[in-house]
Chains A and B, each alone.
Chain A
Amino acid sequence: MAQQISESELVLMKIIWKNGGTALYSVIMEELEKDKSEWKNNTVLTLLSRLGEKKFLKVKKIGRKNEYVATVTEAEYQTMQTHSFLDKVYGGNVKNLVSTLLRQDILSADELKEIETFWRKENE
């Protein structure tokens, strides 16, 4: 999936993921109001239909209401984005990415060790 999700579309996706992968239009609007962001009805509809076109969402009709179902989980989306980021920025070289993370103290040495033990356990 080469399609990219824009920032405002991602806001909507996050609401749906948080809601367990499916959300009614009314639920989405409620969540948006909690964030105090002023999104107009048609704005949200346009963004949702864009997500539908990009195949990140499916629309289910429940009576007269629309239910939006995410076709990818948040984890899948993160993996996809990480891969595309890795390819774009580091040319697919993970070592360079990790060294940047370490050098910038984004990843502490303890955290790295933790990951190493997790990795060994996984392979046993």
Chain B
Amino acid sequence: MSEFIKILLSLSVSGALLLLLILGLKPLYKNRFSRRWQYYIWIVVALRFLLPFTHDTTIVGSLFEKIDTAVITNEIPTSHNVPVAVNPDNSKSEPAQTNREINATTLREPFNKYVCLFFIWSALALVLFVRKVTVYQRFIQYIKAGNKEVSDIKILNLLSDCEEKLNIKAGVELCQNALINSPIMIGFFRPSIILPAKELGSKELSYIFAHELIHYKRKDMFYKWLIEIAACVHWFNPFVYLLGKEVNRTCELSCDEAVVLILGDKTKREYGDMLISFVRADNQYKSSLASVTLTEGAEQLKERLGAIMELKKKSKSIKVITAIFTFSLCICFAAAGAYAAPGQPEEKKMQEQEQSEQRIEESEISVSEDENYKSIYTQNGYFYNSYIIEMGWNVYGDEYSDQTELILKDGSVMKVYFSDTSKDYIADKGAIATTTELLSYLKDINTYPTIETPVITKIVYAGDEDMSALREEFYQDGDVYGFSALFSLLDEAGQKEWYQKIYDADKVAFFSAVIGYMDNDLISVYADKAEQDGKTNFFSAFLNYMQPDMIKQYAEKYYAADDVSRFAVMIPYMAEKEQQDWLKKAQADKKNSFFTVLSDNLF
């Protein structure tokens, strides 16, 4: 939906720019180029308003992209802030659910905004269009009710003569009507010329016929309705009404030009006289949109008469200049461009839109769970004062019957739960003292996620044990936490040995438990290795620990190799700014699949 609104607005801006450009250049061409050209050039503007065709880099297109990115940078932080702010109060009681609700509302808000805009726009556009059509139909009915067919063979022959001169095959109906004062023509496919019910000389009649038949031959009715449709679509854009005015004005001017060119220079004065005779008598039923009339009003007539008298055949050089000028305006048409929804063909867009909206919801929820880390259960193993302590935190306390309150070093009181296997240690002063120290330390270094309601799942005094044997035992038993607790005791060489051993044994769980001990160089060595060996699970375990430039290196590599699925894995670990840079790059390079995964992540 938002894409549609963007395209619409971009067309509006684009059309208005082109309109202003052509209006601004008017002094250059007004008295030099043919009126016919001055009339048809507006088709270019009308099409710019209506057709969403565009090529890659255009003025309006890039303008809208800039707005896009500005909106992104504004929107994302707010959607992140909302759940965090609310969380502390609710975190203990069903944190996930409340979070989801909050997320759903924040998600629906911008979505609703666009749907609302779309409905307002389409409702008004439709109402305007229906109104125009009914006004037209009512006018036609009103006119038809008063029509009397002209049966005078002389007049009909005059019309036929005129039709032959203009190469019009179909017979145009001719009527007389007492309800009108100035000749008009109605109908699209079977047109009728309608004369007022007064006596008209044969010369006057032939001018009228020539004028109206030229309107018919040039399909001015369709042109006018094209403009009317543009006005309905862009009802919010005042420039579109300016366009309508210009088209109506130049339509008559160019029609006059054509009449004089066909009937000859000598007829100029008589033709002008005929126009004047009709402008005096205003029509009772005014509706310029409904038909092509002979005269619209006195103020316009002055210009028309002046134009008729000045009319000269255009020299060849002017024709060449006109062609060049037209060509450059067509380039402006393309350059003004429009906002293009990223790369998809039209029909797909809506569908794609829906899908991406759904995908947003999913990713938002997973983000909300990320935000929820505070309340997510976390477990880890520690070796502290010769005690091996396995501890989890952020638990629901009800599961554990044994608990005690410890006073930490900063004076705060923390409730600590004990599992069945560790509850005997509540009485062990050494164990409790160590636990207190460990908790104080962890709170001090501000572990992520923050410790609340910890549970001690295992506590063993290992002061007398052989550490390397115990480590081996934990490894064989699959006790990841115990193993990682003892890992810290190893020297660098010993750690390296284990890295290789775990890696070769494919034990991801152990590996990810000890990655924290690796330095950056080691991380990059093993990440490369995992990537080459196709051990994706190992590779993704590294992502959390990788430096931004490393992430960037991999992203660049996958981008160059067109490997979307691997590239997608990297995206969540990139900074927002970097993601946006990639987004732009993907759009510029027309890598649609990259664009899609990136925008899914961003929006």
Contact = CB atoms under 8 A, between A and B. Distances in A.
Contact of B153 (A37, A45, A50): A37
Given A45-B171, A46-B172, A46-B173, A40 B151 contact: no
Contacts of A50: 149, 173
Query: Interface size for chain A: under 10, 10 to 19, 20 to 34, or 35 or more residues?
Result: 10 to 19
Given A6-B151, A7-B151, A50-B149, A43 B172 contact: no
Contacts of A84: none
A46 B156 contact: yes
Contacts of B164: 40-42
B149 A40 contact: no
Contacts of A47: 151, 156
A43 B153 contact: yes
Interface string A69-113: 000000000000000000000000000000000000000000000
A39 B149 contact: no
A42 B173 CA distance: 10
B160 interface: yes
B294 interface: no
B159 interface: yes
Given A43-B159, A43-B160, A49 B171 contact: yes
B151 A42 contact: no
A39 B151 CA distance: 12
B390 interface: no
Interface in B158-174: 159-161, 163-164, 168, 170-174
Interface in A1-28: 6-9
A42 B164 CA distance: 8
A42 B163 contact: yes
B401 interface: no
B157 interface: yes
Given A40-B156, A40-B157, A43-B156, 14 more contacts: A6-B151, A8-B156, A37-B153, A38-B157, A40-B161, A40-B164, A41-B160, A42-B159, A42-B164, A43-B153, A43-B160, A46-B160, A46-B174, A50-B173
Contacts of B151: 6-9, 47
Q: Which has the most chain B C-beta neighbours within 10 Å: A6, A9, A41, A42? A: A42
A110 to B, nearest CB: 39
Interface of A: 6-9, 37-43, 45-47, 49-50
19 contacts: A6-B149, A6-B151, A7-B151, A8-B156, A37-B153, A39-B153, A41-B160, A42-B159, A42-B171, A43-B153, A43-B157, A43-B160, A45-B170, A46-B172, A46-B173, A46-B174, A47-B151, A49-B171, A50-B149
A50 B171 CA distance: 11
Given A6-B149, A9-B151, A50-B149, A39 B157 contact: yes
A7 B160 CA distance: 19
Nearest to A46: B171
Nearest to A38: B157
Nearest to B157: A40
A62 B372 CA distance: 82
A46 B172 CA distance: 7
Contacts of B161: 40
A100 B56 CA distance: 88
B566 to A, nearest CB: 68
A47 B174 CA distance: 10
B108 to A, nearest CB: 58
Contacts of A37: 153
Nearest to A7: B151
A6 B160 CA distance: 19
A41 B171 CA distance: 9
Contacts of A45: 170-171
B41 to A, nearest CB: 33
Contacts of A39: 153, 157
Q: Which has the most chain A C-beta neighbours within 10 Å: B153, B161, B168? A: B153
A7 B151 CA distance: 8
A6 to B, nearest CB: 4
A38 B157 CA distance: 8
A68 to B, nearest CB: 14
Considering the complex of A and B, which 10 residue pairs feature the smallest CB-CB distances, nearest first? A40-B160, A42-B160, A46-B171, A6-B151, A45-B171, A43-B156, A42-B171, A40-B157, A43-B160, A42-B163
A9 B152 CA distance: 10
Interface in B127-165: 149, 151, 153, 156-157, 159-161, 163-164
B366 to A, nearest CB: 69
A8 B152 CA distance: 8
A52 to B, nearest CB: 11
A47 B171 CA distance: 9
A70 B157 CA distance: 24
Contacts of B172: 42, 46
Given A42-B171, A46-B172, A46-B173, A8 B160 contact: no
B173 to A, nearest CB: 6
Contacts of B174: 46
A43 B154 CA distance: 9
Nearest to B163: A42
Nearest to B149: A50
Q: Which has the most chain B C-beta neighbours within 10 Å: A7, A37, A39, A43? A: A43
A45 B157 CA distance: 11
A47 B160 CA distance: 12
A118 B172 CA distance: 49
A9 B174 CA distance: 14
B548 to A, nearest CB: 78
A40 B154 CA distance: 10
A41 B170 CA distance: 10
B360 to A, nearest CB: 60
B158 to A, nearest CB: 9
